[in-house]
Amino acid sequence: MRRRFVTNSLSGAIQTIVCTLLVFITIPVFIRLLGTERYGVFSLIMVIGSLNGIVNLGLNKTLIKFIAEQGKVTESNYDIVVNLILLLFGLVPITIAGIVFHEFVLSEILGISLDPMGDVKWLYFFVLVSNLLLIFGQTFSAILEALQKIYVTNICQMIYNFAYWGLILFVLLLGFQVDIVGAMALVAATIWLAAIVMAAHKAWGPILIGDLRKNFGRVAKKQLRYGMQIYVGGLVSFFYEPFTKILLSHFIGIQSVAFFDIALKIRNQVWGFVSKILQPLYPLLSQLSDRVRLRMIIHDLEQKTFLLIIPALPIIVFCTRPLISLWMRENVGIITVSVIFILSAYVLAITVIPNYQFLLAKGHAEKTIVIQGSNVVFNALFFFLTYRWIGYYAVIVGNIAAILSSYALTLYYQKKYLDSLIFESFAQARKVFLTLGIDLLVAYATSSLLDSNMATLLSVPVAVIVSTVLMYRYFGLITATDIQRYSGSNDTLNHWGLKILCRT
């Protein structure tokens, strides 16, 4: 199980790295060739991707849970077919409605002027249909995840990322407008759907429906009963980032959507990297019933994740401006501020992902609705309270307030259901935050001595990592037991882990 978990996690990390490189190459080309405003329009249209949270009824996570618990049995076959049927009932009407009322959606909801941009309508149509394919394919992705073959879904996702960003970059360089960009998104979605369907069929085999007609109602109720809890959380989350982009479009301007989206793209790559590593955790938690073991796994993963983000925060603070300066060359100041604050807040939130997965997997999905709801309320509240004074930066204030509120709620539920927090004692927490303070001083001193962006990008991470290792050794924050647990039977990793991170 350990080897499969590591394989699934590493494949997800590699997939995210590849996607990050493609994103970093494509976005500057897009803005240079079509302009910041057109990129803002593209970002708003891609809000349609949030239909994942509106029409899938939480069925993807629900299917993973049931198949992971049941295994390859007749009931799981019923679950798969019913899942597909329910998805189609949700997808087709909403897609048709989106096409019929496209002018209302584009102009009234998204705030996009249609007159000077006739190609925007076709971008919208292509993206709408491509998202239909992506949502429909989530059932087959869920089958593979439940079987702990997440590395296969990651390979399919890597194919999709290559096709999506590669084709978009290709048509941009050929001089096409955003309508053809949308067509390439549809081509990439079609390729992904074909790949994921074939992979799921190979892993699962024929889907035997048997007496499905007699069991359809029962199975549908079972899935909807649990899925609706997850669904409401997903629906609420729509009013977080997508709604924020709509607020920016209406109250600040479409160009501000572009700045916000660039910050989100960077944040999403970091968030996606960690999420992919922890992705195998959800089916694993679904299988476990021992509450003591669940508590140990979640507590330990959160604690080690927190130790990993400590050096990440100073690197974000002192390396973002040099990176943006080399990457975008325009609007460096506003993008830098956006990335530093939004990314830092989300890096902190990464530490409670294991407990969020626990809530979904072990019958507390309704609590995620409260968590997502707090995101929406605090984000919107602080945006409306501050946008008249600070303009665009209100979106950053809202994001930080939202993350802190949901973070506190997640820790509250962890204490309530697992009787644990991230740190074992106040003394341990003090050592961790003291390390963070020293790392920030080291990063500041290193960056102050350097006068080139590239030198800063190369030197600050090295200095911070060395400082972190020395402080962790000095404070004894990583023990020999920790090293042995995560290195498993690998003697080389165990030897060097003990030598570098432990004093004794």
From 63, 1, 337, 439, select the one nearest 226 (Cα to Cα).
Answer: 63
**Residue recorded with tokens 């309704």:** 366
Write down the pLDDT at residue 484.
77
5/133 Cα distance (integer angstroms): 28
- Given CA atoms 142, 143, 148, 153 in this order, what sign does their dihedral have? negative
**For the CA atoms of the chain, what is the radius of gyration?**
23
Write down the pLDDT at residue 71.
82
In this structure, what token pair is assigned to residue 258?
């572009």
SS3 call for 290: coil
Write down the pLDDT at residue 15.
67
123/171 Cα distance (integer angstroms): 13
CA triple 245-246-248, angle to 5 deg: 65
463/443 Cα distance (integer angstroms): 7
401/379 Cα distance (integer angstroms): 6
260/317 Cα distance (integer angstroms): 17
In the chain the first and final C-alpha atoms are separated, in Å, by: 30
Amino acid at 281: L
DSSP state letters, 333-386: HHHHHHHHHHHHHHHHHHTTHHHHHHHHHTT-HHHHHHHHHHHHHHHHHHHHHH
CA triple 259-253-184, angle to 5 deg: 60
Write down the pLDDT at residue 7.
59
Return the number of other C-beta atoms located less than 10 Å from residue 253's C-beta: 16
- Half-sphere exposure (CA, 13 Å, Cβ side) for 218? 8
Write down the pLDDT at residue 13.
62
Q: Phi-psi region for residue 39, left (φ > 0), alpha (ψ -120 to 50) or beta?
A: alpha
Return the number of other C-beta atoms located less than 10 Å from residue 97's C-beta: 11
Write down the pLDDT at residue 489.
66
Spacing of C-alpha 261 from chain mean position: 14
Q: What is the pTM of this model?
A: 0.70
What ranges in 46-101 are assigned the alpha helix state H?
A: 52-55, 59-70, 74-100
Return the number of other C-beta atoms located less than 10 Å from residue 454's C-beta: 11
365 in Cβ contact with 226 (< 8 Å): yes
371 in Cβ contact with 406 (< 8 Å): yes
**Backbone torsions φ then ψ of 250, nearest 5 degrees:** -80, -40
In this structure, what token pair is assigned to residue 379?
């984000």
269 in Cβ contact with 23 (< 8 Å): yes
Q: Collect all residues with Cβ–Cβ distance below 8 Å to 331 and sequence separation of at least 6.
A: 36, 259
SS3 call for 268: helix
Write down the pLDDT at residue 189.
94
**Residue recorded with tokens 């309320």:** 377
504 residues of the chain, pLDDT tens digit each: 555 555 555 665 676 677 778 887 888 888 888 888 888 888 888 876 555 545 555 677 778 878 887 888 888 888 888 888 888 887 888 888 888 888 888 887 777 776 555 688 888 899 889 988 998 898 899 899 888 887 888 889 889 988 998 999 999 999 888 889 989 999 999 999 999 999 999 989 888 777 888 888 888 888 777 766 666 655 666 567 777 888 888 888 888 888 888 888 888 778 777 766 666 666 667 677 778 888 888 888 888 889 989 999 999 999 999 999 988 877 888 999 999 999 999 888 888 888 888 887 777 877 887 888 888 889 989 999 999 999 999 999 999 999 999 999 999 999 998 888 888 888 989 999 999 999 999 999 999 998 888 999 999 999 999 999 999 988 888 877 777 777 666 677 777 777 777 776
